């Protein structure tokens, strides 16, 4: 049997494409459609075209606050993972292979623990009678009990903990592509260790930092379990908000609108910052 060679790529990718359309695209399209349905306390979901869900989210300051908080948390988590993850990856990369293996396991450890167990562990540490608070009191750093539960700081700490591995892995991949002689070359030309790092190493691993940041930002902005446990009802983010609309209020169309706005905002922010950084560091992206 002969097949038109032009069709070969399509046929080969066909099965994967079908799965992708069935499991990703169609639920997304259905959610998008759902966001235009009507809903009422007593009538439930009605198949009537309306933009009132979108209008409500965009017009009400309550939602602005939640979306603002979501982006703020995601931004801080991304910044902190960059600050922690990049030096961590650099140090790991310079270790002997044996120790690198051991410490890599330590670094990706948080990913190996169930999200519920890990987050409840943080909850134990965060409370006003928790370990962190008591330690700060005992050391005289804090005068009153420090309660990190239901605070943005708490959510940022817990999310950073679990998302740092993604940054470390992305940056390490970039570091491994570097020519080790280049650092020596810069040193022989008179650069101090810090200058070598800032002028030679850092610019070359920008692509790695960027891809790590994209992953971390997207995961932090759409995280559900951690903000749900640490932030609770008091401190809603977009994901927990959509969840509450779906399962508590049962206002599916409004939940769908929130989910879609989160998706669109994430894609816009990620694509935009990608463009910006790729233009700035055009030479290392080739």
Partner 1 sequence: MSYLALERLTKAYGGVLAVEALDLTVARGEFISLLGPSGCGKTTTLQMIAGFVEPTSGRAMLNGTDLFGVQPNKRGLGVVFQSYALFPHVTVAENVAFGLEMRGVPRAEREQRVKQTLDLVGLSGLADRYPRRMSGGQQQRVALARALVIQPAILLLDEPLSNLDAKLREEMQTELRAIQRSVGTTTILVTHDQGEAMALSDRIVIMNKGRVEQIARPDEAYARPASAFVANFLGKTNTLPAKVVNEGGRHVVDIAGFRLPAPGRSPAGPVTVTVRPERISFVDDSALGVRGRVQSRVFQGTHWLFHIETELGALIVLRQNDGAAVPLEGQDVCLAWGENDLLIEASRGV
Position 171 contacts partner 1 (CB under 8 A): no
Number of residues this chain uses to bind partner 1 (CB under 8 A): 21
Position 176 contacts partner 1 (CB under 8 A): no
- DSSP SS3 for 128: coil
> Please, what is the minimum distance in Å from the beta carbon of residue 192 to partner 1?
6
Residues 229 and 149: their CA atoms lie apart, in Å, by: 9
> Please, what is the minimum distance in Å from the beta carbon of residue 98 to partner 1?
15
Position 277 contacts partner 1 (CB under 8 A): no
| Tokens linked to 283 | 């030479």
Residues 163 and 179: their CA atoms lie apart, in Å, by: 28
Give the residues across from 39 on adjacent strands.
45
Segment near partner 1 (CB under 8 A); pick from 46-54, 101-109, 148-156, 184-192: 184-192
Segment near partner 1 (CB under 8 A); pick from 25-33, 117-125, 190-198, 223-231: 190-198
Q: Which CB sits closer to partner 1, 51 or 185?
A: 185
Position among 185, 247, 268, 276 found at the interface with partner 1 (CB under 8 A): 185
- Angle of the 252-280 helix axis to the 61-94 helix axis, nearest 10: 40
Q: Which of residues 198-217 bind partner 1 (CB under 8 A)?
A: 199-200, 203-204
Residues 240 and 224: their CA atoms lie apart, in Å, by: 6
> Please, what is the minimum distance in Å from the beta carbon of residue 185 to partner 1?
4
Position 281 contacts partner 1 (CB under 8 A): yes
Phi, psi dihedral angles at 42 (to 5 degrees): -105, -25
Position 276 contacts partner 1 (CB under 8 A): no
- Residue 129: CB partners within 8 Å, gap ≥ 6? 145
> Please, what is the minimum distance in Å from the beta carbon of residue 202 to partner 1?
10
Contact 212, 170 (CB under 8 A): yes
Residues 44 and 56: their CA atoms lie apart, in Å, by: 17
Q: Which CB sits closer to partner 1, 111 or 173?
A: 173
Phi, psi dihedral angles at 44 (to 5 degrees): 75, -155
Where on the chain is the footprint of partner 1 (CB under 8 A)? 179, 181-182, 184-192, 195, 199-200, 203-204, 281, 283-284, 286
């Amino acid at each position: 049997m002969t097949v038109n060679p032009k069709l070969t790529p399509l046929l080969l990718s066909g099965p994967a494409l079908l799965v992708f359309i069935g499991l990703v695209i169609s639920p997304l399209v259905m959610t998008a459609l759902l966001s235009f349905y009507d809903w009422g306390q007593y009538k439930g979901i009605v198949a009537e075209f309306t933009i009132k869900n979108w209008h409500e989210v965009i017009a009400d300051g309550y939602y602005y606050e939640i979306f603002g908080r979501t982006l703020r948390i995601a931004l801080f988590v991304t910044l902190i993972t960059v600050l922690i993850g990049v030096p961590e990856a650099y140090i790991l990369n310079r270790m002997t292979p044996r120790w690198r293996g051991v410490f890599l396991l330590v670094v990706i450890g948080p990913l190996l623990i169930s999200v519920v167990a890990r987050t409840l562990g943080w909850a134990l540490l965060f409370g006003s009678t928790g370990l962190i608070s008591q330690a700060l009191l005992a050391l005289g750093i804090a005068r009153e009990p420090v309660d990190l539960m239901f605070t943005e700081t708490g959510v940022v700490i817990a999310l950073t903990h679990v998302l740092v591995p993604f940054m470390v892995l992305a940056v390490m991949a970039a570091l491994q592509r570097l020519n080790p002689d280049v650092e020596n070359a810069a040193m022989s030309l008179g650069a101090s260790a810090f200058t070598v790092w800032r002028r030679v190493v850092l610019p070359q691993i920008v692509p790695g930092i960027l891809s790590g940041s994209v992953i971390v930002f997207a995961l932090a902005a759409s995280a559900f379990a951690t903000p749900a446990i640490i932030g609770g009802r008091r401190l809603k983010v977009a994901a927990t908000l959509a969840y509450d609309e779906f399962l508590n209020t049962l206002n599916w169309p409004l939940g769908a609108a929130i989910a879609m706005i989160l998706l669109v905002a994430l894609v816009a922010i990620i694509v935009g910052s990608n463009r910006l950084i790729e233009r700035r560091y055009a030479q290392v992206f080739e």
